[in-house]
Structure 1
Amino acid sequence: MAEIIGVRFKTVGKVYYFAANGIQAQVGDAAIVETARGVECGEVALSNKEIPEEQITAPLKEVIRLATAEDLAVVAKNKKKEEDAFRICEEKIRFRKLDMKLVEVECTFDNSKLLFYFTAENRVDFRELVKDLASVFRTRIELRQIGVRDEAKLLGGLGICGREFCCKGYLGDFQPVSIKMAKEQGLSLNPTKISGTCGRLMCCLKHEQYAYEQLLKVTPKAGTMVQLPDGTQGVVEEVFLLTGKLRVRPEGAEVGTLVSKDEVQVLHATEGSREQRPPRKKPQPAQNSAPKEQKPQKEAKPRRDSRPPRQRSDRPHPPRQGRQDKQNKPPKAE
């Protein structure tokens, strides 16, 4: 078992684990820790807790100390530096005529690095901008391009529901959202109605998806044949998942009636569903069809092995012409 402390570096951000190193911290305290970006000051989100070592991603860095009054003064000074860096960077962007939008600036606790977050539709060549910023601040400069969802999380705002953005208020990480969730929840597929301020699908679709999945399992679908409490049969025309009501039109009636899903009995599966479709049969050849004319087969040629062996003649072969000329050739004159 290892004793850890959870620290986050933004108001609503991911919680990182650090070794307690014998320090007792409470939720809300400020702590100085060592990270991959350098020494930083964060807020304690999880007090001292023991967890199995298998759940720890090595190497686990340690908490240096709890923040003192001097450390908090350094943090306030860095905040002022971030505001100045934001203003200067915007001036440099306008001077270089770069197609990018600056979102936020972060300064590490030890003042070893300045991080500039920006958004852009295309790739931006900011090498000259980095040189300009490095000549002004005399420290390490890092520019990071982020997406529109990250921009909304950093800036914050109010959604169409009138509440604060979910990503800014309490969401630590973004959850994947698909258009299938909007279909299952019976929402309009108009992009302007199911998209958030960032232009992506609203995060609240993911929050309510589990409840809709459970309700869809126990609620008849539209088009299902059901039996009403009085014994008559009808077809489900409309489903209200959250209230558990069904609009059923009895046979021979022109207007449907509202009933509870617990008061009806499902007779068969939804029309056109997979359960109602007949099994696919494999095509079989017709039995009464006339047989096809068979082509006459060609006679097979005899194999080479089946041929009779050659008979050798007992007559002596005549000598070759070249050998005979050599024998009759006169000797060379000495």
Structure 2
Amino acid sequence: MVAVAFEEAGKSQVYQTNGLEVKVGDQVVAETPRGLELGQVVALARPGPGDPPADEIPLLVRVATRADLRTQFRNRLRAEDAHRTALQKIHEHGLPMKLLATHFTLDGSRIVFFFSAEGRVDFRQLVKDLVSGMRRRIELHQVGARDRAKLSGGIGPCGRECCCTSWLREFAPVSIKMTKEQGLSLNPSKISGACGRLMCCLRYEYETYRKLRAELPKVGSSLKIPEGKVTVLEVGLLTRTLTVEHPELGIFDIPAGRAIEGPSEVCQSCTKPVQCNPEQETDV
């Protein structure tokens, strides 16, 4: 099985190879709910426990031929003309929507218009005008903020092309908790992407930071070091250093490994230090 990604589409879809010899990067023709589409193999896939039965997984039709590639090129030119026509019709009807992209299926039987809007849009008259002028099946597909950025393209705060435009095929949930876990600023302008939502890259290193934080003492916990008992003020996850405060020596940095007996926390009902296993929470 292989995962195939299509133009102006979100998630990649899994197909059976149907006996075809294909590799990552190959152009293939596959049947989709919209009709025949030209896509690219982006990964080799193996059956998983949650996958549907083999007889429910669609088959690839063929490896893309030169004729298919020429057809796709002509479809892109036709899509540009259809896009301009749709823009004109949207303006004539005064519809509160932004047309983002226009796509022809490979067989040319359907045209898909991707748009964004703040709310629901009554585009029934628009569809009638487009059908009468283009003589094809018309589909208008409203997309959210992340897909809008994916279709429009752009540059992220890092100065590089947006991940969703260049390589990211599927959107995974991103939460403010991931930002806090990595000790990043909560300033919206610094953690928001071109789509106005939390940047997808906040998820990339989240698991690493979470594991590192579990291995180190928490801020406010007490430690024993050769100089005596200290309180943790800051934790450097990547450098594995601790900023601690000593009653007599003041504030200074130490390597995390200098703790003699490991992290300890003060019980809320007494003053005895309780040893804390980073891998398991201790009830006191």
Question: Where on the TM-score scale, by shorter chain, does this alignment land: which range?
Answer: 0.7 to 0.9
Name which of 120, 124, 140 aligns with 1:123: 120
Partner of 1:41: 38
Verify the 8 A CA contact 1:12 1:170 in the aligned structure 2. no
Verify the 8 A CA contact 1:86 1:104 in the aligned structure 2. yes
Verify the 8 A CA contact 1:103 1:117 in the aligned structure 2. yes
Separation in 1 of the partners of 2:89 and 2:223? 69
Structure 1 or 2: more strand by fraction: 2
Asked if 1:221 is matched to 2:212, the reply is no
Partner of 1:17: 14
Name which of 105, 109, 119 aligns with 2:106: 109
Separation in 2 of the partners of 1:142 and 1:96? 18
RMSD value, Cα = 2.3
Separation in 1 of the partners of 2:33 and 2:269? 61
Separation in 2 of the partners of 1:121 and 1:207? 29
- Shift of the alpha carbon at 1:170? 2.5
User: Which of structures 1 and 2 has the bigger CA Rg?
Assistant: 1
Partner of 2:141: 144
SS at match of 2:107: coil
- Shift of the alpha carbon at 1:217? 0.8
| Misfit runs of 4+, over 6 Å | none
Length, aligned pairs only:
268
Residue 6 to residue 203, structure 1, CA distance change in 2 (3 Å): closer
Q: Which amino acid aligns with 1:249?
A: E
Verify the 8 A CA contact 1:149 1:198 in the aligned structure 2. yes
Partner of 2:171: 174
Partner of 2:268: 277
- Shift of the alpha carbon at 1:15? 3.0
Separation in 1 of the partners of 2:37 and 2:25? 16
Name which of 228, 246, 250 aligns with 2:246: 250
Larger RCO (CA within 8 A; separation ≥ 6): 2
TM normalised by structure 1 equals: 0.74
Q: Which runs of 5+ in 2 are unaligned?
A: 271-284
Deviations 1:110-149 (A, max 9, x none): 1111111111111111111111111111001111111110
Q: Which runs of 5+ in 1 are unaligned?
A: 280-334
SS at match of 1:55: coil
Q: Which amino acid aligns with 2:209?
A: Y
Deviations 1:136-193 (A, max 9, x none): 1100111111111011112222111112212223222111111111112112222112
Separation in 2 of the partners of 1:53 and 1:206? 25
SS at match of 1:249: strand
1:1-334 map, 5 Å = 4-10=1-7, 14-46=11-43, 51=47, 55-57=51-53, 58-228=55-225, 230-254=226-250, 256-265=251-260, 266=262, 268-269=264-265, 276-278=267-269
Deviations 1:22-78 (A, max 9, x none): 32223322222212211111122346x774798345422222222222221111110
TM normalised by structure 2 equals: 0.86
Separation in 2 of the partners of 1:220 and 1:193? 28
